[in-house]
Amino acid sequence: MHRYHFLSGSSIYSNGDYVKKRYALVSAAVSFCFGAVIYFSYRISGHAAWSLIISAVNSSAWELFKPFGISYLAFIPIELSWLRPDLRRFICARMAGAYVMAAVILGPAMLCRTPDDRLYYPLAMLIAAAGETASAIFSYRLYFSRKYISHLILPAVATVFAMVFLILILTFYPPHWGIFYDFRTNSVSLENMRSELLQI
């Protein structure tokens, strides 16, 4: 077995595909589990006001994406300290993966309108798991196969700030259409909780 500096462009194993699949799946699994905890934190905390900022408080597509987007961003520094990859290339690859996750989650979530909670939540978690897995596999493949993506560091950093900004702003002021609309209750229920948020 030949060892190289992990994620420096090759792998610590002679079978690079094995490493990519292994750590992509580990990354997706950990990020998904953390995201699931965040998703249900509003209920777990007994409807605590602070949890409204990070958790899902309605069934809109955005509220499904938001907690897993937070988890995705939060797990990147852990990956950086654990795997010690090329910093610029890894951030670029992971931010490209964020777009994949958004597409995989937001599209199907818009169509998931069942009023039955026993059916909705398993479907929502399945969609989120698919988004986390697709983004991890895509970004790890991109990291190993496209070294030139390190030149896209400015768009990648802009994506990080854009995601944080949108999560904060749209939590307080969600629009009344599209991915922000809860078709199960025909409302944007988060807006009704704005007074609770402002009291934090």
Task: Go through 43-55 and write b for each residue having 16 or more CB atoms within 10 A of its CB, e for each that does not.
Answer: eeeeeeeebbbbb
1 occurs within a structural domain: no
153 occurs within a structural domain: yes
In a structure prediction context, what are the per-residue pLDDT tens digits for the chain, which is 200 residues long? Answer: 334 444 444 443 344 555 567 788 888 999 999 999 999 998 888 878 778 788 887 888 998 999 999 999 999 999 888 888 888 999 999 999 999 999 999 999 888 777 777 788 899 999 999 999 999 999 988 988 877 788 889 999 999 999 999 888 887 777 777 788 887 766 655 555 555 555 55
103 occurs within a structural domain: yes
2 occurs within a structural domain: no
Q: Per the structure, how many domains does the chain have? A: 1
The structure's pTM equals 0.81
- Cα–Cα distance, 17 to 25 (Å, whole number): 12
Segments in 13-152 forming alpha helices (H): 16-39, 41-44, 61-83, 87-111, 117-145
Please report the pLDDT score of residue 168 as a whole number.
83
Please report the pLDDT score of residue 9 as a whole number.
43
7 occurs within a structural domain: no
166 occurs within a structural domain: yes
Please report the pLDDT score of residue 10 as a whole number.
43
Which own/partner pairs from 8-17 qualify as long-range (CB within 8 Å, at least 24 positions apart)?
8/85, 8/86, 9/86, 9/144, 9/147, 11/144, 16/144
Range of the domain at 157: 16-198
50 occurs within a structural domain: yes
Sign (positive or negative) of CA dihedral 89, 90, 95, 100: positive
- Cα–Cα distance, 178 to 176 (Å, whole number): 7
100 occurs within a structural domain: yes
